[in-house]
Amino acid sequence: MIQALTPQHLNRIDELHHQLHLTSFVHTQGCETFAFVIEDEVIGFISGLLIDDSVELLNIGIDVNHQGQGYGFQCLKQWIAYLKDRNIKTIFCEVRASNKAAIRLYTQCGFKQTRIRHDYYEHPNEDGLEMRYDEP
Ligand SMILES: CC(C)(COP(=O)(O)OP(=O)(O)OC[C@H]1O[C@@H](n2cnc3c(N)ncnc32)[C@H](O)[C@@H]1OP(=O)(O)O)[C@@H](O)C(=O)NCCC(=O)NCCS
């Protein structure tokens, strides 16, 4: 389940960012990160940034040894439910066009593609897909 980040989680969350080659936003002002914990082990995280009355999903990551077992889905679903409780009904995100696992996950959780940003990403150059979730 998702847990509000505590100082005890930080090393493991840093390790996961490193393992997954993700930029960390944990210390970015306004960013809220949750640890995703299974049987007392942190196996993932999710970070979001509140912008007015919506949230940008900055990052979600699941340890490579635990991917493909539905944990990303659980993590994102729980986070969406948490945001709903806070009356936040719109979530945005940006994803590399080649990141099929993330696109599949977001789609499965109700996100829709809203536009393509050509050559949005560098290293390597790649289109970005903007996706959006609206609470039904
Ligand atoms: C994206 C990520 C969080 C998904 O986590 P996960 O725990 O593996 O996902 P789940 O097991 O819950 O699967 C969710 C859906 O994605 C699909 N999926 C998972 N891995 C996939 C892959 N490598 N290729 C295609 N689809 C994939 C699953 O099949 C599932 O869809 P389905 O039920 O229709 O089969 C994980 O792959 C990850 O940490 N990736 C690296 C970091 C990253 O790219 N984050 C997103 C950008 S910020």
Number of neighbouring beta carbons within 10 Å of residue 66: 15
Q: What is the pLDDT of residue 19?
A: 98
Q: Would you place residue 136 in the very low, low, confident or very high pLDDT band (cuts 50, 70, 90)? A: confident
Q: What is the pLDDT of residues 95-108, one digit of tens each?
A: 999 999 999 999 99
Mean pLDDT (whole number) for 91-97: 97
Query: 22 phi and psi, to 5 degrees?
Result: -110, 145
Based on the number of CB atoms within 10 Å of its own CB, is 45 exposed (0-12), middle (13-18) or buried (19 or more)? buried
Nearest-atom number in ligand 1 for the CA of 67 is 8
Query: 36 forms bridges with which residues in the sheet?
Result: 2, 44
Is this prediction's pTM over 0.75?
A: yes
Q: What is the pLDDT of residues 44-81, one digit of tens each?
A: 999 999 998 999 999 999 999 999 999 999 999 999 99
CA end-to-end span of the chain, whole Å? 23
Q: What is the mean pLDDT of the chain?
A: 96
Give the residue whose CA is nearest to atom 15 of ligand 1: 105
For the chain, domains (ranges, CATH) are: 2-134 (3.40.630.30)
